Amino acid sequence: MEFFELIQKRRSIRLYTDEPVDDSLVDKILEAARIAPSAGNLQPYEFRIIRDIQVKNELVTAAYGQGFIATAPVVIVFIEDAARTEKTYGVRGSSLYVHQDTAVAVSHAHLAAADLGLGSCWVGAFDSPAVARILNLRDGIVPVAILPIGYPAESPPENPRRLMGELLPEK
């Protein structure tokens, strides 16, 4: 899809069909995240792929009952490694760049999914320590986004955005 059409058509999708999502598509989505820009090219993130229904159900609990996570055929969790950025950039790295870098990677993945005809929803509301326990993460790395992915079973209307005049008062 042409880029501007893609960013206009993308929606948060929370209802999925039962159609499985092929590994090759998940690979493409993760590749889009992998090649995202990052401060100093430090790439302070990792990914986890979850297809197991029991683990997905545990993620739903950690995400305060957001049940659509478990209905997606595949779920990607994005994890931050602040130490990786802090080594080079100190507190600015660990308090700012690591979040910005990971957000760009999640955004690439979310848009890549849309481009492949898949629906996904960026889930940020969850108990990070609980998800870290579920995924058995090593100390110091923190899950920051859950991206359930599946073929869309809904076509939500466009959500309103603030007007450009509010964002760019001088215009």
Ligand X SMILES: Cc1cc2nc3c(=O)[nH]c(=O)nc-3n(C[C@H](O)[C@H](O)[C@H](O)COP(=O)(O)O)c2cc1C
Tell me which residues touch ligand X (CB under 6 A): 11-12, 14, 66, 121-125, 156, 159
In angstroms, the CA 2 to CA 124 distance is 28
Question: Among residues 114 and 137, whose Cβ is nearest to ligand X?
Answer: 114
Query: In whole angstroms, how close is the CB of 24 to ligand X at the nearest point?
Result: 25
Rounded to whole angstroms, the Cα distance separating 147 from 78 reads 8
Distance CA 144, CA 130 (A): 12
Residues 6+ apart with CB under 8 A from 150: 13, 16, 17, 19, 21, 71, 72, 73, 74, 118, 119, 120
* CB 127 to ligand X: min, Å: 12
Smallest distance, ligand X to C-beta of residue 167, A: 15
139 forms beta bridges with none
- To ligand X, the closest distance from the beta carbon of 46 in angstroms equals 18
State the nearest-atom distance from the C-beta of 71 to ligand X, in Å.
13
Closest residue to ligand X, based on beta-carbon distance: 124
Residue among 41 and 125 whose Cβ is closer to ligand X: 125
148: enclosing H helix or E strand: strand 141-150
Nearest CB to ligand X, comparing residues 24 and 159: 159
User: 3-class DSSP state for residue 81?
Assistant: strand
β-strand partners of 123? 146
Closest CB to ligand X among residues 3, 170: 3
Q: For residues 136 and 159, which CB has a smaller minimum distance to ligand X in the complex?
A: 159
Contact 147, 109 (CB under 8 A): yes
